Amino acid sequence: MSLISKPHTAAPTRTRLHQRQDWTAAAFIAPAMVVLALFLLYPLVANFRLSFVNWNGLGNTARDVGLSNWLDLSRDAVFLRALGNNALLAVFSILIQLPLGLLLAVTLSRASRGSVALRIIYVLPLLMSSVAIGTVFRDLYDPNFGAINTALRSLHLDGLAQDWLGDPRFALASVIAVVCWQSVPFYMLLFMAGLSSMPDELREAATLDGASPRVIFWRITLPFLQGTVRTAAVLSLIGSLRYFDLVYVMTGGGPSGSSEVMATYMYRTVFSAFNIGYGAAVSSAMFLIVVVAASAALRLSRRYQTEV
């Protein structure tokens, strides 16, 4: 995986120098590998093993229960609903965050006065902690005193003033809206980085040929950014399936499980219900789902790749 392409010669016999270089490389990689094995691989395997026991997490009381946690999980209405909520979160994240991020990136990357100030403003949500964002929006959403309903009522739109976080019909949508607000700047930055590597000549040539800005966007900018879009979509998918923080702060997964996601369910199972084995099954299932979904997404997106 060298970055410098070697001249095409017949495969050289490996010299001592090469071998010594290999050892040196291995020595440099080893510490990172040890850390990975210790803090990533081992917990992953240990967690899988935990999913086959029944344990309250205290003392040596674990009992082997075989596949029963996994069988219960496949029939667990709460878990299936949480998985469905994760899927909704993923779909809406990709459909809302990516286009908005792209729009902002394209708009702001055309250098103009004031765009620096705008960039800073748009990036702000990315700099705040999720807990703080959740707390602020919880207060904005408050059905009796919150700014949102107060504004709606002052416009005589009382019919639209809802119980945003306490009504099972709206809780998930209310949380997703805040997740998008928080994440759009990240995708904006990603696309801006992609755009910055686009040669100016491309756009200049197209302009000389009389292409309108719209044509330039669809025919040149977007194809140029397709790798970035693909990366962004996969990141968004993985992030949505593992999502925890804003849901935990704003609704706790309620009311009645309407905004529960897999991670909040796992947290409750382990830390409130003392049900370690089942919680381990939930998190192992999460891991498998994320791996399958991410590799499927990568494969799909490669299929629709176009040559630039």
Closer Cβ to another protein, 21 or 56, answer by number = 56
Contact between 28 and another protein per CB under 8 A: no
Contact between 218 and another protein per CB under 8 A: no
| Closest listed residue to residue 140, CA positions, set 7, 38, 16, 132 | 132
Neighbour count for residue 71 (Cβ, 10 Å): 12
Contact between 271 and another protein per CB under 8 A: yes
Distance CA 185, CA 60 (A): 47
Distance CA 297, CA 148 (A): 37
Q: Are 80 and 260 in contact (CB under 8 A)?
A: no
3-state secondary structure of 261: coil
CB of 140: closest distance to another protein in angstroms? 13
Contact between 85 and another protein per CB under 8 A: no
Angle, to 10 degrees, between the axis of helix 130-141 and the axis of helix 147-154? Answer: 30
Contact between 256 and another protein per CB under 8 A: yes
Q: Which of 21-29, 207-215, 230-238, 269-277 is the region at the interface with another protein (rule: CB under 8 A)?
A: 269-277
CB of 290: closest distance to another protein in angstroms? 24
Distance CA 286, CA 83 (A): 9
Contact between 70 and another protein per CB under 8 A: no
Contact between 239 and another protein per CB under 8 A: no
In the complex, the residues that contact another protein under the rule CB under 8 A are 56-59, 61, 78, 135, 138-139, 141-145, 163-168, 171, 251-252, 254-258, 268-269, 271-275
